[in-house]
Chain A
Amino acid sequence: MNLDQLAKLNRCLAARQAVVVVSALEEGLEPGDRVAVLTPDEIGARHDAEALHEAFRSGKSGMVEIAGRRFFLNVHLPPVKLVVIGAVHISQALAEMARLADLDCTIIDPRTAFATPERFPDTRVIAQWPDVALPPLGLDRYTAFVALTHDPKIDDGAILHALTKECFYLGALGSRKTHAKRLERLAATGAAPEALARIRAPIGLDIGAVSPAEIAVSILAEIIGAMRAKPSRAAGTSA
């Protein structure tokens, strides 16, 4: 790889742009001549187009053989997004852990006393109602959504929005009793039972978590479980 190629790769990563590094593995060529750094839009009619498109689809890096030559494809997809409703104590722990786990975390809470940069250093915080803050975020199948305010005024509308999207994980804080009431309220708005069944509540793996940090661990563990679930990290699809 030469410096220009490395710089292009870094520009793509910084811009959350999917990119693949194609390296020919035979010897005898200059390093810069054996490498191509390509975004999906740049594949065009290359002879290895099919393998490259497949690499972007699967997100898997690995060796491929094309026309008798061996190549290594290193696929970089944008990091998984974590959208958290509620700038609460659990969210503070969760935001920090999410960063370590390479999730791209956004915190949303209309209560400006909670949603402050001081409480969430190094995390994107949006002090707006979810109906304003959520649509521009573009929740997709690479998004985990978590509702933690415990306040129906804030959580319910956000959950309804997330249910219309393909989020691979959708969890909401609350006891069984609280969740049963929530399901009644959401059903009353016309939400379908099969959609409501996607909500994971009580949220998190059952590890007996007590403190905010422990609850954050249980939530993050459940998210990672959904993300790495086979055959696809988008739970509930067979793609």
Chain B
Amino acid sequence: MPSGTPLAHETEILAAAESWKRGGRGVAIATVIETWGSAPRPVGSHLVIDGEGNFLGSVSGGCVEGAVIAEAIEAIADGKSRLLEFGVADETAWRVGLSCGGKIAVRVEPVT
């Protein structure tokens, strides 16, 4: 891989999570575990986050990453997993909804 490649693959994303953790950073892994309708990223996709909000990968086309990262930082702090659901029906659709009209469930899990 050339350095600085902007497009990260699942293997690189998970490898980054491991090296961040070994480097002493808090790390959480977010995974798309269910989708309904048209969803931008398939089931199994990962976003990895460190305690300072640095991240790699994606669970949507960028629509809900901000909310997932915020939850991930809390998950790293309290050591507990979270299950998040996002869809257009959400009242906060303008902020964290999926503009594609799909729905996704995302599991956020701290690496212990």
Contact indicator B112/A25 (Cβ below 8 Å): no
Contact indicator B14/A32 (Cβ below 8 Å): no
Chain A, residues 50-86, CB within 8 Å of chain B (1/0): the string is 0000000000111100000000101110000000000
Is A121 part of the binding interface, using a Cβ–Cβ cutoff of 8 Å?
A: yes
Contact indicator A3/B22 (Cβ below 8 Å): yes
Contact indicator A13/B21 (Cβ below 8 Å): no
Rounded to whole angstroms, the CA-CA distance of A7 and B17 in the bound complex is 10
Chain A, residues 178-218, CB within 8 Å of chain B (1/0): the string is 00000000000000000000000000000000000000000
How far, in Å, is A221 (CB) from chain B's closest CB? 18
Rounded to whole angstroms, the CA-CA distance of A62 and B32 in the bound complex is 9
Question: Cβ of B17: which chain A residues have Cβ within 8 Å of it?
Answer: 6
Given A13-B11, A63-B33, A3 contacting B21 (CB threshold 8 A): yes
Main SS at interface, chain A: mixed
Within 8 A of A (CB), among B1-28: 1-2, 7, 9-11, 14-15, 17-18, 21-22
Interface size on B, residues (CB 8 A): 28
Question: Cβ of B34: which chain A residues have Cβ within 8 Å of it?
Answer: 62-63
Contact indicator A25/B107 (Cβ below 8 Å): yes
Residue pairs across A and B with Cβ atoms less than 8 A apart, 24 shown, are A1-B109, A1-B111, A1-B112, A2-B111, A2-B112, A7-B18, A10-B14, A14-B11, A23-B31, A25-B33, A25-B83, A31-B81, A60-B43, A61-B42, A61-B43, A62-B34, A63-B34, A72-B33, A74-B31, A75-B44, A76-B44, A102-B9, A122-B1, A122-B2
Residues in A lying within 8 Å of B, measured CB to CB? 1-3, 6-7, 9-10, 13-14, 23, 25, 27, 30-32, 34, 60-63, 72, 74-76, 100, 102, 121-122
Residues in B lying within 8 Å of A, measured CB to CB? 1-2, 7, 9-11, 14-15, 17-18, 21-22, 29, 31, 33-34, 42-44, 79-81, 83, 107, 109-112
